[in-house]
Amino acid sequence: MHRLLLLGCLWLLAAPPASSIFQRPTGTPAPLRLQYLLEPLHPTVHTQRGATATLPCVLRTLPHNYRVKWSKVEPANYRENIIIITNGLYHKNYGPLSPRVRLRHSHRYDASLTITDVALEDEGRYRCQLVNGLEDESISLTLHLEGVVFPYQPSNGRYKFNYHEAKRACEQQDSRLATYQQLYKAWMEGLDWCNAGWILDGTVHYPIINSREPCGGRLLLPGVRTYGARDKQKDRFDAFCFTSALQGSQVYFIRGHLNFKEAGQACRNHGAAIAKVGQLYSAWKFSQLDRCDGGWLADGSVRYPITTPRERCGGLPDPGVRSFGFPSKEMRTYGTYCFVGK
């Protein structure tokens, strides 16, 4: 009898807990649990351009001879670029983010990454990886900037940019090529544009709210339509740019009948610079700038921002930044939009 009781106790000790027997379907792998890293409470960190943001990464314990490696996933080339590596005592920074990143290190288990003076190109997915031989594990976090996507084409017409020219054009207008996620969010918020444009990963798309004949036909459902990946050197399209609010900046209008050169000088006389397209979109989106007056911008275009649509301001039913295109720079018809940074 005692021998049977002893065998029964040994079986109970060896058997898996009842929950694992009855709650997991046959053939379903057990979910992977993090052994060394804590799951972040919020995998998305929201911030603004120019602010300081911290991406959390906290260790449960300090394994022997461990390292923590932070990297950023770049959609333009599908690579992970190393940002910083630490062993808890020493660290080394890498890449273009190097001057603006540090470890928060508020306690010995804290490997969180702090980014100062957040820039447009900082948005995206980051990975905190604990390197510990065969037991490596990682968490992913997303740094998100509230922003606005706008279509952009040069003065000589539509479909003139190859990928590299589109990227450079957005950067010249205080913006960057939008990601697919940013373009999709803009479409959900009402962006409707019939011209196809490059985005950051080298693919080409256009967002349609109202299906119509010139834009793929009336039978196609609304959506972000795609041309897929294109030749970055040879193929030519417009661009979809993304910009965000910049802390401490302001865009304002100077009334007058100015040509393009006079417009730039008028802004400089006020200690400002003639505004770029991205800066005007940012002021429209985040500062609710609303003017019915066309004004020169740095690229030689004339635009005006409308937050409250009305009949005498173009007559269109939706808010937006309206454009007069690229008139002759000698025309003395418009005022100018100026930008003051922090």
Decide if 113 is inside a domain: yes
The answer to whether position 317 is within a domain reads yes
264 and 191 in one domain? Answer: no
Closest CA to 292 of 277, 274, 318, 310: 310
Domain that holds residue 157: 147-244
One domain for residues 260 and 207: no
Length, in residues, of the chain:
342
In a domain, 100, yes or no: yes
Residues 259 and 277 grouped into a single domain: yes
Q: Are residues 73 and 162 in the same domain?
A: no
Query: Total structural domains in the chain?
Result: 3
Domain-ending residue, one of 96, 128, 145:
145
CA distance 305 to 172: 20
Whether 47 and 141 share a structural domain: yes
Tell me, yes or no, whether 22 lies in a domain: no
Residue 283 domain-assigned? yes
Same domain, 273 and 228: no
Do 41 and 112 lie in a common domain? yes
Q: What is the model's pTM?
A: 0.83
Residues 74 and 158 grouped into a single domain: no
> Contact, 283 vs 272, CB < 8 A?
no
Within-domain flag for 3: no
pLDDT of residue 32: 59
Q: Are residues 152 and 187 in the same domain?
A: yes
Per-residue tokens: 241? 């740019």
Say yes or no: 81 and 126 in one domain: yes
For each of the chain's 342 residues, which pLDDT tens digit applies?
Answer: 333 333 333 323 333 333 332 233 444 444 457 889 999 999 999 998 999 999 999 999 998 889 999 999 887 666 889 999 999 889 999 999 999 999 999 999 999 999 999 999 999 999 999 998 767 899 999 999 999 999 999 999 999 999 999 999 999 999 999 999 999 999 999 999 999 999 999 999 999 999 988 888 888 889 999 999 999 999 999 999 999 988 889 999 999 999 999 999 999 999 999 999 999 999 999 999 999 999 999 999 999 999 999 998 988 899 999 999 999 999 999 999 999 986
Q: Are 307 and 288 in contact (CB under 8 A)?
A: yes
Considering only the C-alpha atoms of the chain, give the largest distance between any 2 of them, rounded to a whole number of Å.
108
Domain end call among 145, 166, 190? 145
Indicate the residue among 83, 111, 145 that finishes a domain: 145
Verify that 279 and 228 share a domain, yes or no: no
Give me 1's structure tokens: 């009898």
Tokens of 229: 């990946």
Residue 80 lies in a domain: yes
Whether residues 45 and 87 share a domain: the answer is yes
